[in-house]
Amino acid sequence: MIMVLLALMQANSAVLDVDGNCNAVDQAARDAAAAGARVLLTPELFPVGYAPLRVRTELDPSGLPAIRRTLAGIAKRHGIAVVYSLPAVMAGGQWQISATLVSSRGEELLSYSKVHLFGAEERKAFSPAEAAPAVVDLDGIRTSLAICYDVEFPETARAAAARGAELLLVPTALAHGFEEVPQILLRARALESQLTVAYANHSGSEDGCEFLGGSVIAAPDGSLLAAAGPGPELLFAEVSAEAARDARDAVPYLAERRPGVYRAWEDSLRQERPANF
């Protein structure tokens, strides 16, 4: 069995302090690589801070390519793959929340944009994406991305798993009051789609938002491989493709899905629903 050491960064970001935040990523990447980790997962919008309206109105989008180059340089310098999250400005001028996986050589392997926006501020600042999560081979593990609220919908993790994902990396920004999300829901997502789920949260206070911390790495059987407290922390867990494959062999949820039946259920619901529902 080939095991890969995964590192997860939980930390406090300073809103719009790009240099300081990137320095924090650099330190985490250095420490993670020194410990033997092959990939580092960082929280949602960490390089710019999680404050959707401020980011949307105060961040100069022309600087985003330089931030991406800085983060790719961190990955290359320390020889570790990195997942980071930043705003992305689309061709039509719409802003989305994105996540990117760069290799240990600093090459972009995978990108994803957030499909489910959470709360009024996110919906005002950003536009929702529609593309399904894609999958790439990372050190022998089929890997995919989701962002924060996306993983609270079973369809997101299932879409990744149905495309062959064995590892789902999730940058997030989860406030206090939602403790059940990492402790219950994330473990259920890992179990029901039989893949490892890593969920990296902010800690501390940013622009008036108190973050939960509580990042987790959950195994394909729903067990916890690692869990953080409320403060800054660098989590580690060994993950493998075989863990997902063994779970799927034991109970073949994916193979025994009946998507045609589920579509018929949705069609019948639309027919039954009153016009003003």
Summarised one tens digit per residue, pLDDT across range 204-218 is: 999 999 999 999 999
Mean pLDDT taken over the chain: 97
Query: What integer pLDDT is reported at residue 272 of this predicted model?
Result: 84
Q: What is the pTM of this model?
A: 0.97
Percent of the chain with pLDDT over 90: 96
Query: What integer pLDDT is reported at residue 273 of this predicted model?
Result: 75
CA angle (187, 28, 23) in 5-degree steps: 130
Confidence of residue 2 (pLDDT cuts 50, 70, 90): confident
The residue written with tokens 């802003």 in the block is: 95
Q: Which residues on adjacent β-strands are paired with residue 39?
A: 6, 81
Query: What integer pLDDT is reported at residue 1 of this predicted model?
Result: 82
Contact between residue 25 and residue 84 where contact means Cβ atoms under 8 Å apart:
yes
Query: What integer pLDDT is reported at residue 26 of this predicted model?
Result: 98
State the greatest distance between any 2 C-alpha atoms of the chain, in Å, as a whole number. 60
Mean pLDDT on 143-149: 98
Query: What integer pLDDT is reported at residue 57 of this predicted model?
Result: 97
Contact between residue 55 and residue 97 where contact means Cβ atoms under 8 Å apart:
no
Contact between residue 197 and residue 151 where contact means Cβ atoms under 8 Å apart:
yes
Q: Is 132 helix (H, G, I), strand (E, B) or coil?
A: coil
Angstrom distance (rounded) from CA 118 to CA 5: 31
Which CATH number is associated with domain 4-272?
Answer: 3.60.110.10
Query: What integer pLDDT is reported at residue 277 of this predicted model?
Result: 53
Quickly list H helices, 210-254.
241-250
Amino acid of residue 13: S
Query: What integer pLDDT is reported at residue 232 of this predicted model?
Result: 98
Mean pLDDT on 180-193: 97
Query: What integer pLDDT is reported at residue 276 of this predicted model?
Result: 56
Task: Find how far residue 167's CA is from the centre of its chain.
Answer: 11
Angstrom distance (rounded) from CA 80 to CA 264: 45
Q: CB burial class (10 A; 0-12, 13-18, 19+) of residue 49? A: buried
Report whether pLDDT(93) > 70.
yes
Residues acting as catalytic residues? 44, 114, 148
